[in-house]
Amino acid sequence: MVMGFLANNMTIESLRLPYACENCNHEITYLAVRGKDYEYPAAGLSEKVQVPENLECPKCKQVKVEPDFFIGKTFKFLKGA
């Protein structure tokens, strides 16, 4: 995410996250949706991020597909709201 790209009053409703299979190196994207996978801070609560840690690889069928991104950096936009 490029910092400074969003205006202060904008919210991100969804974003695609890269995942990579440790077994066969296949790459997939996961659609993270606001309200399901992440949420902006509200009513005195801090931001929430709950994206899958492991997914099944559609190529080799192993559950070894892991995030290929840094959660703190990717979701840094939640702190700016």
Is pTM, for the whole model, over 0.95?
no
Q: Where are the domains of the chain?
A: 14-80
Q: Among 5-9, 11-15, 20-24, which stretch is predicted with the lowest mean pLDDT?
A: 5-9
Q: Among 28-32, 33-37, 76-80, which stretch is predicted with the lowest mean pLDDT?
A: 76-80
Greatest CA separation found in the chain?
44
pLDDT value of position 4: 64
Cβ partners under 8 Å of residue 81, min gap 6: 11, 40, 41, 47
Q: What is the DSSP letter of 69?
A: S
Provide, rounded to the nearest whole percent, the portion of the chain with pLDDT above 90: 67
pLDDT at 3 over 70: no
- pLDDT tens column, 35-59: 999 999 988 889 999 999 989 999 9
